[in-house]
Chains A and B, each alone.
Chain A
Amino acid sequence: MMPAKNLVRMVVANTLRSPRHFILSAFGIVIGIGAFVLFLALTQRAGSVLEKVFPVEEVRVVAPSVSLLGKDASKRLDDTTVETIRARPEVKSAVPRLSLAFPAAGRGSFEGSDLKFEVGGFADGVDPNFVRDDDRIRELFKDWDALKDDPNRVACVPPPPDPYEDVIHPPGAPPKAKKPRDSAWGDHPAPGAGSAPTSPAPGSAGSATTPDTGSASAPTTGSATAPAGGTIAPAAGTSAGSAVVPAVGSAAATSAGSGSAAGAPPAPPVPTKYYNPCPEPDRYYCDEAERICKHRVPVVLSATVVELYNNQFAKSHGLPIADKDLVNLLIQQRGLSAMRFSIGLGNTTISGTAKMSNRRPHRVEAVIVGVSTRAMPVGVTMPIQYIKRWNEAFLGVEAASSYSAIIVTLKDQKQLAPFSQWLIDEQGLRLDDNIGERFATVVFVIRLLFLIISVAILVIAIINIGHNFFIQVSERRREIGIMRAVGATEGDVQLIVLGEAAVIGVVGGLLGIGLAVGIGMTWNAYAASNIPRFPFKPESWFEFKTWIWASALGFSTLFCILGGYLPARRAAKMQPAQALAQN
């Protein structure tokens, strides 16, 4: 074989010598590889979005909802079931989930709006060790009530309950007193505050005076000072509260909040009693029953909830849209104060169903600590210990250990079928329909389809390359004869032709990848402004993973070498005497 250095030099020189041949041969490869990369990147992104919405590697084990003939319909999911499943060799992990089994109402203010929402039926408990998405979640998402030596668990005196409130509301929340309603209803209803709801003037004045983004830090300051300020100087609390509004930058939200508040009953009688606030109000609150400072219940949301808020709720309610990772963005900017809300256990926002339990309603405070893939799709997810305690308190022991589902991760996805069979036959349980898996199948089929299209283009490109090289080899037969005459072996000739094919593969592949990235970026720019928002609309529609373009480059080179193989063989097997014969 000729020295590699000479081979490379000759291949490069030959390629540069015939640009027409190069363009004709590379064209198909560029298109084929472009399609290959673009399609793979698109479906890769689709898969990533899907993974964010549904963790497809997990399956949900549930008890059959309908009694099948001969099956035990009274089957419950309890700790024994969890242990039995965990003992299976194919199971990597099994984590129970427990739903809040009685009504509960949530209330919080978000970006200047008072939100009420149902928590009962939309709350799920899960083992905190199972939720490990980021550092903040790792730090805060745990059963705080189990930590009896928490130095912040100090005695406190809660503010008096609000006789007019139908939904339990944080009494110590003047920092969040964006709405005049809060001030009126809270622990420090100044005489003037009562008129605030009907007069949006302070709010508008506030927005007029501090409209700049520099006031973004105002809420944090406000929340830190307000509890103290509220007791001593109610006016300060109110003004701090109104300062928050312009920071949100949504005058509409202010008026909407004020408007709904305006219809509420007039301010209650002024309580005169002081109470000790808890340290770090973003994280601790005063529990009414125990009169002790407790850590707020940490809650994680699913990406679905955030997207639902962005696309449906925020639009219809005139609330601000956070394009990126809403929760994380807000927490980063303002701390946890933006994420606090109350849960009225035993209360409900749905009229007529209130007081289903005979136990007295109980208010707890919660804080959203992040977004997790392990959160239930629609609702709030918290450490399972809280749900267990509440279910037991409101419904009894059985409700505390009757899990709604067991999330099972298998060691190998292939073992799903036998595992499912075992569940049905031996345990009388079944796997929940996995929507994520169905979507994943759809994405897989689409990806397969796209791949077939790309490969079809590539195959045509290879045939084209083979054809072009046959032409070129016969055009260069004299040259090949000369090379043979001066000492080129058959192998040398073959390598030279294959080398030229490989150059087309590499350069064509790179151009194809460039084409795909170019089209992708153009589409992203177009879609950003011309395609309306929809849930999980991605910022970039394509995910150009390393493996995608690396395999594209590899395939393109390999395919071109394959295409050049037969012409290279023909060139090598040419009798030099005939190649040199005069035409």
Chain B
Amino acid sequence: MTPSATRGTVRAVAVASVVRLRDVTKSYGAGAAKTQVLRGVSIDVEPGEFVALVGQSGSGKSTLLNIIGGLDQPDSGEVEVLGIDTLKAGDAKRAQLRNQSIGFIFQAFNLMDHLTCLGNVVIPASFAHDAKDVEARGREALRRVGLSDFAHRRPGELSGGQKQRVAIARALFGAPTLLLCDEPTGNLDSETGKGVIDFFRELNDKDRVTLVIVTHERRVSSVAKRVIAMRDGMIVETSDEELAAAHAASGGGPS
């Protein structure tokens, strides 16, 4: 287990870290069917960073992202997100963190088809305790992704790119400081994907939103300020050639 980014280990003090993982392990299944997905991963992500997590399918990058977001629990190790020890904090605290400070963007968009675009964008407000100006904030989020006119349309009527923009608007609704994206361009054509990536870069530059993106696409990782490569549940040093090979091996399919 060799830390890919030496900078990361050096800055172990990490008081200012947005994400701080130490020796995180995770396995699925039990007995003979047991699969070790993460074999001791340590990462530090600084505020305002734009990190791409790359690696072959099954390398554990999505699992790592889920553990950062508190959607999954590690078997062992330490996880600290935005100064909160999410393993020791209770479910309510983690939920609050996701509600107020973390935005998720998924490859499959994960919109609720029975709600309008605006309805989807404002779902987080349902679980917030002091949500004010919900509709105005929802419309503002839609405007930022360029879908002002789609507030009352349903996801079923939208193209893939539009759906992903609705999902981004939902992620931005709570004005998060950390955006976790799992293959955000995986289901999009290259043109649309480029638009999404540009939007992320703008978010990172102007709004200082910290981004961690799981991807297998070169053009995404090339935009990122830091690339962390994973193989067999561990972080590895990678050259660009190896990265290219990894992309080729994964066949461009979902990780």
Interface size class of B (residues with CB under 8 A): 20 to 34
Segment among A75-83, A96-104, A484-492, A546-554 that sits at the interface with chain B:
A484-492
Q: What string of 1s and 0s marks CB contacts (under 8 Å) between B112-138 and chain A?
A: 101000000001111111000000000
> In the complex the two chains form, is B114's CB within 8 Å of A576's CB?
no
Q: Using Cβ atoms and an 8 Å threshold, which residues of chain A touch B92?
A: 489, 491
**CB pair A488 B72 closer than 8 Å:** no
B71 on interface, CB distance cutoff 8 Å: yes
- The interface bits of chain B over 76-114 (1 if a CB of A lies within 8 angstroms of the residue's CB, else 0) are 000000000000000110011011100010111011101
- Which residues in chain B, 45-90, are within 8 Å of chain A measured between CB atoms? 63, 66, 69, 71-73
Residues of A within 8 A of B96 (CB): 487
Is B170 positioned at the interface, with any CB of A under 8 Å from its CB?
yes
The B-contacting residues of A in range 1-22, CB under 8 angstroms, are 2-3, 6, 9-10, 13, 17
- Residues in B with CB closer than 8 Å to A3 are 126, 129
* Chain A residue, CB-CB nearest to B96: A487
Please name the residue on chain A nearest to B66 by beta carbon: A577
**What is the number of contacts between chain A and chain B, taking CB atoms within 8 Å?**
76
Give A462 to B30 CA distance when docked, in angstroms: 34
A87 to B123, CA, bound (A): 73
Chain A residue numbers with a CB within 8 Å of B100 are: 487
Q: Are the CB atoms of A487 and B128 closer together than 8 Å? A: yes
Rounded to whole angstroms, the CA-CA distance of A10 and B127 in the bound complex is 11
Contact A489 B91 (CB under 8 A): yes
Residues 132-144 of chain A, each 1 if its beta carbon lies under 8 Å from chain B, else 0: 0000000000000
The reply to whether A577 and B127 contact each other, CB–CB distance below 8 Å, is no
Does chain B have a CB within 8 A of A478?
yes
State the main secondary structure of chain A at its contact with B: helix
B173 to chain A, nearest CB (A): 8
Does B254 make an interface contact (CB < 8 A)?
yes
Is there an interface contact between B114 and A17, defined as CB atoms closer than 8 Å? yes
Beyond A485-B71, A486-B98, A489-B95, whether A577 also contacts B63 by CB under 8 A is yes
**CB-nearest residue of chain A to B67:** A577
By a CB distance below 8 angstroms, the chain B residues around A481 are 71, 110
Residues of B within 8 A of A486 (CB): 98-99, 104, 123-124, 127, 170, 174
A487 and B71 in contact, given A478-B110, A479-B112, A580-B106 (Cβ under 8 angstroms): no
29 CB < 8 A contacts A-B: A2-B126, A6-B125, A6-B127, A13-B114, A481-B110, A482-B110, A482-B111, A483-B123, A484-B71, A485-B71, A485-B104, A486-B99, A486-B127, A486-B174, A487-B98, A487-B124, A487-B127, A487-B128, A487-B174, A488-B95, A488-B127, A489-B91, A492-B95, A575-B72, A576-B71, A577-B72, A578-B72, A582-B107, A582-B254
Cβ-closest 3 pairs across A and B: A487-B99, A577-B72, A577-B66
